[in-house]
Every structure is written in structure tokens, then in C-alpha cells.
Amino acid sequence: MNTKILFLLMAAYFSACCYLHAENGYELWLRYKPTDNTRLLHEYQKKNKYILFPANSPQLQAAKEELERGLQGMLQLCLNETEKVKDGTLIAGTLQTIAPYCQQALLTDSINQLTDEGYIIASRKMEKQEVIIIAGKTDKGTLYGIFHYLRLMQTQQNLDNLFIKENPKISYRVLNHWDNLNGSIERGYAGYSLWNWERLPMHKNDDRYKDYARANASVGINGVVLNNVNAEAKSLCREWLVKASGLADAFRPYGIRVYLTAKFSAPKEIGGLKTASPKDPQVREWWKKKVQEIYSIIPDFGGFLVKANSEGQPGPQDYGCSHADGANMLAEALEPFGGIVFWRAFVYQNERHVDRVITGYNEFKPLDGQFNRNVFVQPKNGPIDFQPREPFHPLFGSMPNTPLSMEVQITQENLGHTHHLVYLGTLFEEVLQSDTYANGQGSTVSKILQGYEKSHHISAIAGVPNIGSDINWTGQLFGQANWYAFGRLAWNPDEKSQDIANEWIRMTFSNEKEVIAPILKIMLMSRETYVNYTMPLGLNHIMNYGTHNGPEPWHDDPVWTAFDYHKVTRDSIGINRTKTGSGAVLQYHKPVCEQFNSLTNCPQEYLLWFHRLPWNYSMPSGRTLWNELVFHYYKGVDEVREMQQLWTQVEGKIDKERYRHVASLLKYQEEEAIWWRDACLLFFQEYSGQPIPQELEQPRHSLDYYKRIPFPYEWNGYYD
């Protein structure tokens, strides 16, 4: 072969390798790149020289495979299996599989005290040999333990003298996919649904399913609702159940159960009955039979998620029955199999004179204690609808006799879709750490959710994911951090969002300080930045009516309009929800109620949520309300520019591909932030009649221009 051809072949081979190794984000936070700290590398290699890990179940096999992947990637070690303890042995399993070693290490009692999903990671000296034991009470616990152990190395922690004992603080940690059966995703911005219904159930051994399950298991997510809450009854037909069983099979080794949404009218739509009334014995019987059928196809089926009498969905109220009547009918059918009902509390009236903020509480609070023991009532984190900032939902702390699950949104429906970098860990933490004062000081939402574990032996947190068929799963790479943070907070709702971000950065990018510091700063400021340039000071729901991205405070339609949310006039802006207004503050316990009610004590972030104020109202900063609003909108844009600057600091320190991806989206975000700022201020200025100070960069276009331009992505789902 002549040298020229050889050279060309080599060049082709080389570029193919580069292509294969290009960082496209597919590996998420499970990249297992070689440990670049030589001291730690040697230490890790020494401690993982031998593996004693009898894996006799699919979950243990999954755990072992993950361990192998991690050790190979990070330490370039193959699993060197041993049956005898030697120096540097990693022992993993359960009391069934590694009992003698646990006994010898005096760990048996600690393991017995674990919950079903808990684990221990402990360094021990055994027969003078250094070993590390990873033991769960169950196979699943061991799997979680392995992920934790790998995370220690991914984040370059010291492995000396380990003693980690972990139990999840919440037992149901569930993703609520809004995936439609035709492959589209309601409010999904990262491509199409991962579920390939056409190929299911035959083609279930798809790596994409496996990698999805690995990612979930790595953060402890143990349930996934496969389909949209705006449900189709046909998902409960036998044919579709069989398809769903393929996914259940694919996820089972990773400790994940599948759930389905249940359309309340299913007995009519697919069961041939004349009614779906909970009062009708035939209807109740139909659900029982349907549930039996489901368990015959999916033996570990999780249960149902239901959106009823909300935004046009059918429900028990259609038959003069309550939410509890409806939920209990399904709960009774599921109970013999250990299944659960998640009954959503996201309801509001169509009458615009009723304050939307108070309706969920008003409908559900009177039903406290009337639900079966396998029912969760599931409010969203706030009382409106996944806005960039809301006070916590007043049902938290008000339903002591009914386990509540909290639903958060990971997909950025109202937070800039996938073009805006917004780390949601801080948003989730803000609501989890809000003090409800239900049982005195310290009754945070987090404690309320955890408390149901003691009182009702179940507890839950749900998240609407941002996952789709895009190669990097979430569209914007930083969307991955929101998936990650959701899982970590569902496992332990008292974890700090900052620590979670730090961990994610180390696993996703690098352990180098120069990389961590700027990215951490970006992440921690990003949510407040978004609030600043879109809906500061408690404003909300002024985004585009259809897409929910981009400003449309002028939206005025016969149904719900932006005016219902800001109520702007020439005199004032905001909504009076105090005791003299809609009374929403009264749904909170004292002293929260008094705090929100008082103009001077109300946190500034919620000011216009609870109070209606004149434009010249004097703010604590000394500015008028108008000038304060201007200040926030401009600050938001400045902060996006700061985020861009910070991002340039990692150029050359991380791979080109992901660097460029994020840089390009940050530019896009800046453009949209300016759009938000200009459009909102020009619109509100029509009412305030006050100027945008001359020294500030003036709006680029007229209000008329902003009202005319199309929204970038006309979403054509549910509302069309």
C-alpha cells in the first residue's frame, strides 16, 4: 500500500475516533472519565484491586455491570474477581449474598436497620486486609450503593475510613412524563418521546431505555409514569398495556416501576359502559377487572396518576361525586396489588372572578382524611402553575390526614424552554425549605412531605421531566442538572442545591477548581436572573398564551388573560390577596399568613403576588415601584451577560462541543432576555406613564413591534 493511501486511511481512522469521542452530552453525569489526579488514581486502584460481588439477580447484575463500567472508565481496571478476601477487595451485595463478610465486619445489625432501599458503604479491616463493603438490605439498595460509591470517585472524594449509611427520605420518587401515545411530548422541548410504541414490546432491549434507567437509578428515581396526564383512555387497552410491559421489563433491573395515567372516562370510552360514575357498581367492577388485567401483564405495576376535573379532563364531579370518591374507587382496585393512586390537586375554575390561587385549597382541604390509604393527593409546588416563582402551595401543612405528594416541573415550560440556562435546584430548594408553620417553626414543606412516611408509611415527590429523544436528552445541556437535582432532592429533600450543583459539575465537566467555580456561579444565579428579566417582584403568568415562552403581558382573550394575573391600570399593578382582597393569605398558617398579609413584611419576591400597589409606592430600596421594576428587568439582562462572561472562563478547559453548545444558547438567551425586558417595560410603561431612565440602554424596538413579532415556537399540542 502506498504511503499516501496509508496516511489517508490513518487520518480517516483518527477523525472517526475523534468523532466517536466527541462530547455530545449523551453520557449525562455518568461519563466515568479517567481520574486525572494521580495520587487519587493510585489510591482508588489500590482499593478496587479485587471484587467480591456475587450477582445472582437482574438488579445485582445491573449494579455489577455499572461498577465494571465505572472502574474501567475511571481507573482503567477490569473487574478482577476473587472469592477470597485480599487486600484491596471491594465486597458488594446483600445479607443474602455476602452474609459472612457483613458479619465479620460487624455490619449485620446496621444493614438490618436499613429501609428497603438503603445501603451502607464501609471501610473495614478483615483478616488484616483492607476492604470496602457496599451492602444493601435489598438488591436495589445495593444498586443505589454502587452508584453512590462511583459518585465518590467521580467527584474525587477520599475513600479512607468510609462509613456511609443512607436511606431515602421519601419513598416514591417519580417522574411524570407528559408523553403522548403518538410520540409527541406535551411541554417537551428536547425532541420526541423516548418510548417507541411501534417497536414495543418486542424491541425492549434498546440501549436508550437502559441508559435512561441507569440515569434515573443513579439518583434514586424509582417510578415513572409513562404517559400524559391529559390522558388517552386507549393507554389502558390490552394492546397498549402489553407495549408498556416492554418498558417495565427494561426498567426493572434498575429498580424502576412503571405507572400509567388513568382517564376517568375510560369505562365509557374503552369499556363500553354508559357511565363512568363512581356510584355505579359496574364501573367499580370494570376498574377492578382492568387493574387485575394490568397486574397480569405488569406484575410490579406502580399505579395510576390522574388529572380529573381540571382543564377539561373528565372526573368524579361530572357525576356529583368528590375527588375522594373518584380516587378511592381506583385505590380500592389497586390496593390488593400494592398499587398507588396519585390524584392531582391542580384544579381551577373557569370563572375568572374566582381567584385562581385559592381554588386548589378550597376544593381539597375539606376532603382531608377522606382518601384511601394508598392515595396521594398531588398539588404542584405553588398554587398557580409552575411559574418562575410562586409561594408554596397552601395545601402543604393543611392536610395532615392525607399524604401529599409534591409535583415540580423539570421541563422549563415557563422558564425559557431549552434555550435558557436555568438551574432549578434552587427553585426546588426554595419551596422545600419554605416554612409552613403547620406544627410550629421548622415545619418546612420538606418536613411535611417526609412526615407522611411516619404517619402514613408513604411519602412522595414527583417531577415532570425535560427528557426527550435529543442526543443530549434535555436539549440544553444544563437541563441535565435539573433532572439530576430533582432525583437527588427526591431522595433527600434537605440536600443543599449548591452541593448538588457542585457534584453535578464535577461529574459532568471536571473536578478542576477553575471549571467548577464559574459554572457553579452561573448555576446558582441563573434562576433569580430568569425571574428578574421575566417576572420580578411577584409578577407571574404574563408569558405567551400558547407557547408559554416569551413576553405577552398584553394578552387579552375571553378566557384567562395576562390581565387576570397583573391587573395593571394607570394607578396600580398587582393583586390584592390580603385579608381585604381575595383572602388567599388566610390559607396559610400563622405567622406566614400575617407575613404575606403585611405590606412591610411580605417578602419582596412575592410583593405583587399578594399586594396591589400604586406605581409611586416607595420600595425599601428607596426607589418607586416603577423604578424597582425597571431595575429588576435591567438587572436580569445584565446578569445573562455576566453568565456569558463567566462561561468564557471555561473555554479550553472543557471540550469544544459542549462549550460551543452552551455559549450559543447563552447568546440566544441574552436576545430573549432583552426581548422580555423591552416588551414588558414598554407595555407597563403605557400604564405607569413613567420613563425608562435615559442612562439605561433604551428598548430596541417599539411596543407595537413586540406585539407583532411571532413567538419562536408555536406549540401545537393540547390547547389547539
- Residues within the interface to ligand GCW (CB under 6 A): 178, 186-187, 229-230, 307, 311, 346, 385, 718
Q: Least separation, in Å, of the C-beta of 386 and ligand GCW? A: 6
Question: Cα Rg for the chain, rounded, in angstroms?
Answer: 27
Q: Least separation, in Å, of the C-beta of 307 and ligand GCW? A: 5
At 605 the three-state DSSP class reads helix
Residues 515, 530: Cα–Cα separation, whole Å: 23
At 274 the three-state DSSP class reads coil
Q: Which residue is nearest to ligand GCW (CB)?
A: 385
Report the candidate in 292, 275, 289 with the shortest Cα–Cα distance to residue 326: 275
Identity (one letter) of the amino acid at 305? L
User: Omega of the bond prior to 253 within 30 degrees of 0, cis?
Assistant: no
CA-angle at 338, arms to 365 and 252, nearest 5°? 115
| Residue nearer to ligand GCW on the CB measure, 83 or 720 | 720
| Residue nearer to ligand GCW on the CB measure, 409 or 669 | 409
Phi-psi region of 227 (alpha: psi -120 to 50; beta: other; left: phi over 0): beta
Residues 565, 542: Cα–Cα separation, whole Å: 7
Report the candidate in 170, 283, 270, 272 with the shortest Cα–Cα distance to residue 220: 170
| Residue nearer to ligand GCW on the CB measure, 447 or 548 | 548
Q: Are 312 and 265 in contact (CB under 8 A)?
A: no
Q: From the candidates 43, 300, 385, 638, which is the catalytic residue?
A: 385
Q: Give how far the C-alpha of residue 643 lies from the chain's centroid of Cα atoms, to the nearest Å.
A: 23
Q: Least separation, in Å, of the C-beta of 168 and ligand GCW? A: 25
Cell reading at 41: 488514581
State yes or no: is 81 an active-site residue: no
Q: Least separation, in Å, of the C-beta of 105 and ligand GCW? A: 48
Q: Least separation, in Å, of the C-beta of 352 and ligand GCW? A: 16
Distances (CA, A) of 283 to 168, 234, 272, 279, 692: 37, 17, 10, 8, 62
Q: Least separation, in Å, of the C-beta of 354 and ligand GCW? A: 17
Q: What is the 3-state secondary structure (H, E, C) of 568-599?
A: CCCCEECCCCCCCCCCHHHHCCCCHHHHHHCC
Report the candidate in 209, 214, 238 with the shortest Cα–Cα distance to residue 226: 209
Cβ contacts of 674 within 8 Å, gap of 6 or more = 637, 700
Cell 441574552, residue? 670
Identity (one letter) of the amino acid at 17? C
| Residue nearer to ligand GCW on the CB measure, 311 or 318 | 311
State yes or no: is 413 an active-site residue: yes
Buried b (16+ CB within 10 A) or exposed e, 664-678: ebbebbbebbbbbbb
Q: From the candidates 66, 335, 407, 413, which is the catalytic residue?
A: 413
| Residue nearer to ligand GCW on the CB measure, 187 or 263 | 187
Residues 411, 486: Cα–Cα separation, whole Å: 11
Residues 516, 524: Cα–Cα separation, whole Å: 12
What is the end-to-end Cα distance of the chain in Å, rounded?
63
Residues 478, 293: Cα–Cα separation, whole Å: 41
Q: Least separation, in Å, of the C-beta of 8 and ligand GCW? A: 53
| Residue nearer to ligand GCW on the CB measure, 243 or 356 | 356
| Residue nearer to ligand GCW on the CB measure, 255 or 360 | 360
Q: Least separation, in Å, of the C-beta of 717 and ligand GCW? A: 7
Q: Least separation, in Å, of the C-beta of 552 and ligand GCW? A: 14
Report the candidate in 155, 149, 218 with the shortest Cα–Cα distance to residue 510: 155
Judged on CB neighbours under 10 Å (0-12, 13-18, 19+), 623 is middle
Q: Least separation, in Å, of the C-beta of 189 and ligand GCW? A: 12
Report the candidate in 411, 334, 427 with the shortest Cα–Cα distance to residue 376: 334
Q: Least separation, in Å, of the C-beta of 346 and ligand GCW? A: 5
Q: How many CA atoms lie within 13 A of 397 on its CB side?
A: 27
Residues 537, 606: Cα–Cα separation, whole Å: 6
| Residue nearer to ligand GCW on the CB measure, 27 or 186 | 186
Beta bridge partners of 406: 461
Q: Least separation, in Å, of the C-beta of 186 and ligand GCW? A: 5
Cell reading at 356: 385562581
Residues 417, 420: Cα–Cα separation, whole Å: 6
Q: From the candidates 311, 318, 564, 642, which is the catalytic residue?
A: 311
| Residue nearer to ligand GCW on the CB measure, 110 or 230 | 230
State yes or no: is 23 an active-site residue: no
| Residue nearer to ligand GCW on the CB measure, 134 or 229 | 229
Beta bridge partners of 223: 174, 257
Which runs of consecutive H residues, i.e. helices, occur in 105-221? 108-112, 139-154, 207-218
| Residue nearer to ligand GCW on the CB measure, 179 or 335 | 179
| Residue nearer to ligand GCW on the CB measure, 73 or 379 | 379
Residues 397, 381: Cα–Cα separation, whole Å: 13
Q: Give me the active site residues, please.
A: 311, 385, 413
